[in-house]
Structure 1
Amino acid sequence: MTSPQSPPPQRVELTLLPIGTRPGDAESGAAAGGCGAGCACGAEGHAGEFDPLECGLDPDLAELLAAAGLDPVQVEDVAHLAVEEDLDNGVDVTTVATVPEDAVATGDFTARQAGTVAGLHVAEAVLSVVCTDDLEVERHVADGDRVEAGQVLLSVTTRTRDLLTAERSALNLLCRLSGIATLTRAWADALEGTPTRVRDTRKTTPGLRALEKYAVRCGGGVNHRMSLSDAALVKDNHVLAAGGVAEAFRRVREEFPGVPVEVEVDRLDQLEEVLAAGADLVLLDNFSPGQVREAVALTAGRAALEASGGLTLDTARSYAETGVDYLAVGGLTHSAPILDIGLDLRQERRD
């Protein structure tokens, strides 16, 4: 949560890439981000290396997204997809009918309940692809901040029609990501003072994995593998197919020698074989806290250990006190309730 001593909100103006245009289109204008050499947007005439920070979004916003570990082009694509789904090749009929075309408004994205915020720059990206006029934002808090009910997170001044058209798409992403960050923060708080960290799984919403795992980081958690290609996780079906734990591990090491290998066990008597094979990390599936404690003692630092299955916030501390390195919690992403955030129109005027 921000304090009375916090710096004043930062007011910035974003250059825009309106919905329905691509970087480099004549109607989008030179100020609308523009394409760099080798842009992946599909426009003709590009050559050279691809620089995601030169494609689409306002360059400063793209830099902020990249600094957070997000791909600006992917965020832009998600923003376009969300808005295009909402418009369904039409227009916002309610807003067009009720709001004068030249009206300008300021809206406040306001927390309706306490929690941890994530996805503010993603919401800005949604706004930037909808807005057809100047877009000015004031950033009152940052991703990862704890906020209270009634606290203003982000203020936006732009054409009223554009603001209302973008409202739900921006809020859907902001509320979803903030809900994940809030739930993750509850787990991180439960583990505070221990070396154990909570981390996510691949149980994410298709197309939103990078954003949802970013929200986990905002909540104080850590990420497991981002995809099937950056780490190996040998589970029971792999063991069955390979003919044994040691054989499954050997095949992965032989085929992909530089990839970290985690092996799942569901009994203590499997642990020594996995450790002897050289596993980097062992997943203890559905172990009780007492069994995890035994596994920590048997492992004696030869590999990292991760507990998974049946974990709850009520039992998190008892698992952490065993000395296990990680708690794997799929619910961080697949079952997090949203954080209730709304958009309040503060003023309306005509230029």
Structure 2
Amino acid sequence: MVNAPANLAERIAERALGEGFAACGFASAGEDPLRAGRLEQWLGEGHHGSMEWMAARAAERRSPQGLWPAAKSVIALGMSYAPAHDPLALEGSPDHARISVYAQGRDYHDVVKKRLKALARWLVAEVPGAEVKVFVDTAPVMEKPLGEAAGIGWQGKHTNMVSPTHGSWLFLGAIYTTLELASAAPHRDQCGSCRACLDACPTDAFPAPYRLDARRCISYLTIEHKGPVDEEFRAALGNRIYGCDDCLAVCPWNKFASAAQAMKEFLPRAELVAPRLEELLALDDAGFRALFSGSPIKRIGRDRFIRNCLYAAGNSGNAALIAQVGALTADPDPVVADAARWALGRLRSDP
């Protein structure tokens, strides 16, 4: 085993800031029975919906050492994407589509992973013989509980990371290493009696504080869910076509977050801040790919995206969309056609 220099943790944290990370902490790579138990309960209740990969690799997800037995420590990192504009500003603009703040700029997977790799390369150069692996939301890693264990924030009642200095606007990444680094004290929960995030959810996706039923979550329904969205949720989607910021945006801790701390790569593209539904509904596959090149939205594909736009159209009350929606009832994709029929029915029956 390679021994870590006494001040290495401080130097890692300083280097992380230089790479654009806003938060850095350290945790053990060993299994935490409480963390593992919560994962088992969540999966056992079926709250992961159709995200089969969560259950398929649960043994690896339980702890860092479950994924990589040689790991000794976790370097947990957060990168700010605090918005300069109000994420809820389009709530009363049904002719415009709402895209989650995190998806209005560059794909965070690419941005965060590039910086993680740079930090990992520096670490290996500083401590020859050290081994590292980097992760950002594409492997069986519980970034949020690990971030809490590493002291960079706590999991709020909406189950997302909350930072006392960056609010709810942090992209998370992790570096596993064979180095023994002193663990931080887990961050204290500072939600108190506040339940703003729970009350803000349009679909009641929180069966209890700190518990999320993904099957009812708009982010899950618009991004991960592949088939038709259950009719009980379609009206609640409103004009949200990709993700949902409601529970994040109302967090009181956001008052300490500053858009100046966000990476420039996450600045919103002008065409994604308030896109008009009529323009999005006109996208074919090539147009969709061109518009969302370099965006996380691209991964859901044109059909699922148009499905979401049609639900928004049905909720808009805008009769001017009837012809455009009607044409999509003949779409080759049956889920798109189903969404178009539902939207057409809503628009024609709207007084």
TM-score category (smaller protein): under 0.3
Higher relative contact order (CA 8 A, sep 6+): 2
User: Which has more radius of gyration?
Assistant: 1
**TM-score, structure 2 as length reference:** 0.26
More helix by share: 2
**TM-score, structure 1 as length reference:** 0.26
More strand by share: 1
